[in-house]
Amino acid sequence: MSTRISRTQTSLMFLTLAVVTVVSSSRPVVAAVDGLAGTSWQLVKFQDGDGATITPDDGSKYTITFASNGRVSSRVDCNHGGSTWKTAGTNELKFGSWSMSRTKCAGTSLHDKIVNEGANVRYYEIKNGHLFLWGMEAGGYYELAPIKNRRRS
Protein backbone atom coordinates (compact mmCIF):
# COMPACT_ATOMS: atom_id res chain seq x y z
CA MET A 1 0.00 0.00 0.00
CA SER A 2 1.48 3.34 -1.09
CA THR A 3 1.20 6.47 1.03
CA ARG A 4 2.27 8.77 -1.78
CA ILE A 5 -0.30 11.51 -2.48
CA SER A 6 -0.70 12.83 -6.00
CA ARG A 7 -0.89 16.54 -6.87
CA THR A 8 -4.54 16.11 -7.74
CA GLN A 9 -5.28 14.58 -4.34
CA THR A 10 -3.34 17.35 -2.58
CA SER A 11 -5.20 20.04 -4.52
CA LEU A 12 -8.51 18.34 -3.74
CA MET A 13 -7.66 18.20 -0.02
CA PHE A 14 -6.80 21.94 0.07
CA LEU A 15 -9.95 22.81 -1.88
CA THR A 16 -12.08 20.73 0.49
CA LEU A 17 -10.44 22.38 3.51
CA ALA A 18 -11.08 25.84 2.05
CA VAL A 19 -14.75 25.05 1.34
CA VAL A 20 -15.27 23.59 4.82
CA THR A 21 -13.63 26.65 6.39
CA VAL A 22 -15.81 29.09 4.42
CA VAL A 23 -19.03 27.13 4.97
CA SER A 24 -18.41 26.65 8.69
CA SER A 25 -17.44 30.29 9.22
CA SER A 26 -20.18 32.58 10.53
CA ARG A 27 -18.64 35.46 8.56
CA PRO A 28 -17.70 35.65 4.89
CA VAL A 29 -14.07 35.60 3.82
CA VAL A 30 -12.57 39.06 4.20
CA ALA A 31 -10.05 40.79 1.97
CA ALA A 32 -6.51 41.24 3.20
CA VAL A 33 -5.97 43.89 5.86
CA ASP A 34 -4.31 46.21 3.33
CA GLY A 35 -7.14 45.62 0.84
CA LEU A 36 -8.40 49.19 1.34
CA ALA A 37 -5.15 50.94 0.39
CA GLY A 38 -5.42 52.71 -2.95
CA THR A 39 -9.17 52.16 -3.37
CA SER A 40 -12.11 54.51 -3.91
CA TRP A 41 -15.75 53.76 -3.16
CA GLN A 42 -19.17 55.37 -3.61
CA LEU A 43 -22.26 54.92 -1.47
CA VAL A 44 -24.87 52.37 -2.56
CA LYS A 45 -27.02 52.49 0.56
CA PHE A 46 -27.10 53.13 4.28
CA GLN A 47 -29.14 50.93 6.59
CA ASP A 48 -29.72 52.44 10.01
CA GLY A 49 -29.92 50.57 13.31
CA ASP A 50 -33.70 50.27 13.02
CA GLY A 51 -33.44 48.54 9.63
CA ALA A 52 -34.55 51.52 7.51
CA THR A 53 -32.64 51.72 4.22
CA ILE A 54 -31.60 55.05 2.75
CA THR A 55 -30.41 55.14 -0.86
CA PRO A 56 -28.67 58.24 -2.23
CA ASP A 57 -30.06 59.97 -5.32
CA ASP A 58 -26.49 59.94 -6.69
CA GLY A 59 -23.89 57.68 -5.05
CA SER A 60 -21.03 59.65 -6.62
CA LYS A 61 -21.86 62.51 -4.22
CA TYR A 62 -20.86 60.24 -1.31
CA THR A 63 -17.37 58.82 -1.80
CA ILE A 64 -14.37 57.73 0.20
CA THR A 65 -10.79 57.13 -0.97
CA PHE A 66 -8.23 55.23 1.09
CA ALA A 67 -4.73 56.35 0.06
CA SER A 68 -1.86 53.93 0.63
CA ASN A 69 -0.06 56.59 2.72
CA GLY A 70 -2.64 56.31 5.53
CA ARG A 71 -4.72 59.33 4.45
CA VAL A 72 -8.41 59.13 3.62
CA SER A 73 -10.49 61.66 1.72
CA SER A 74 -14.23 61.83 1.35
CA ARG A 75 -16.98 63.67 -0.43
CA VAL A 76 -20.23 64.02 1.50
CA ASP A 77 -22.65 65.68 -0.92
CA CYS A 78 -21.34 69.25 -1.38
CA ASN A 79 -18.62 68.93 1.29
CA HIS A 80 -15.16 67.38 1.29
CA GLY A 81 -13.19 65.99 4.20
CA GLY A 82 -10.05 64.21 5.18
CA SER A 83 -8.52 62.19 7.95
CA THR A 84 -6.11 59.34 8.56
CA TRP A 85 -6.98 55.66 8.58
CA LYS A 86 -5.43 52.40 9.70
CA THR A 87 -6.45 48.81 10.19
CA ALA A 88 -5.58 47.54 13.64
CA GLY A 89 -6.60 43.93 13.05
CA THR A 90 -8.99 41.74 11.14
CA ASN A 91 -11.96 43.86 10.07
CA GLU A 92 -10.97 46.73 12.38
CA LEU A 93 -10.85 50.21 10.91
CA LYS A 94 -9.76 53.33 12.78
CA PHE A 95 -10.04 56.91 11.58
CA GLY A 96 -8.20 59.89 13.06
CA SER A 97 -9.85 63.26 13.59
CA TRP A 98 -11.81 64.41 10.55
CA SER A 99 -11.58 67.83 8.94
CA MET A 100 -14.66 68.68 6.85
CA SER A 101 -15.86 71.67 4.90
CA ARG A 102 -19.18 73.02 6.24
CA THR A 103 -21.15 74.17 3.20
CA LYS A 104 -24.94 73.93 3.51
CA CYS A 105 -25.98 71.38 0.87
CA ALA A 106 -29.12 72.06 -1.18
CA GLY A 107 -32.10 69.73 -1.33
CA THR A 108 -32.41 66.34 0.30
CA SER A 109 -29.03 65.23 1.52
CA LEU A 110 -27.59 62.39 3.56
CA HIS A 111 -24.90 64.81 4.74
CA ASP A 112 -25.95 65.06 8.40
CA LYS A 113 -26.50 61.31 8.80
CA ILE A 114 -23.11 60.48 7.31
CA VAL A 115 -21.17 63.19 9.13
CA ASN A 116 -22.74 62.25 12.48
CA GLU A 117 -22.38 58.46 12.11
CA GLY A 118 -19.61 57.88 9.55
CA ALA A 119 -16.73 59.01 11.74
CA ASN A 120 -17.75 56.33 14.24
CA VAL A 121 -17.26 53.38 11.86
CA ARG A 122 -15.15 50.71 13.57
CA TYR A 123 -15.20 47.73 11.20
CA TYR A 124 -15.07 46.94 7.51
CA GLU A 125 -15.55 43.98 5.21
CA ILE A 126 -15.20 43.53 1.48
CA LYS A 127 -17.88 41.13 0.32
CA ASN A 128 -18.89 40.40 -3.28
CA GLY A 129 -16.78 43.35 -4.42
CA HIS A 130 -18.57 45.86 -2.16
CA LEU A 131 -17.22 47.56 0.94
CA PHE A 132 -19.35 47.36 4.09
CA LEU A 133 -18.64 49.72 7.00
CA TRP A 134 -20.26 49.32 10.41
CA GLY A 135 -19.74 49.57 14.16
CA MET A 136 -21.47 52.88 14.83
CA GLU A 137 -23.11 53.28 18.22
CA ALA A 138 -26.57 53.67 16.65
CA GLY A 139 -26.07 50.47 14.63
CA GLY A 140 -26.54 49.97 10.92
CA TYR A 141 -24.05 49.83 8.07
CA TYR A 142 -22.90 51.52 4.88
CA GLU A 143 -22.61 49.61 1.61
CA LEU A 144 -20.27 51.10 -1.00
CA ALA A 145 -19.37 50.05 -4.55
CA PRO A 146 -15.92 50.45 -6.05
CA ILE A 147 -15.28 53.47 -8.23
CA LYS A 148 -13.76 52.22 -11.46
CA ASN A 149 -10.48 53.68 -12.78
CA ARG A 150 -9.65 55.53 -9.55
CA ARG A 151 -7.32 53.05 -7.87
CA ARG A 152 -4.38 54.94 -6.41
CA SER A 153 -1.10 53.88 -4.86
Which domains does the chain show, CATH number per domain? 33-146 (2.40.128.270)
Q: Is the pLDDT of residue 24 over 50?
A: no
* Plot region of 44 (φ>0 → left; ψ -120 to 50 → alpha; else → beta): alpha
Amino acid 111: pLDDT: 74
More confident residue, 4 or 9: 4
Weakest-pLDDT range from 9-23, 24-38, 60-74, 108-122: 9-23
Kindly report, residue by residue over 28-61, the tens digit of the pLDDT: 333 334 589 999 999 999 998 888 898 998 999 9
Amino acid at site 141: Y
**DSSP string spanning 92-106?**
B-EE---EE------
**Mean local confidence (pLDDT), 18-35:** 36
24-28, 36-40, 110-114, 124-128 — which is least confidently predicted? 24-28
Q: Give the H or E element holding residue 133.
A: strand 130-134
Give yes or no for a contact between 59 and 44, defined as CB atoms under 8 angstroms apart.
yes
Q: What is the pTM of this model?
A: 0.71
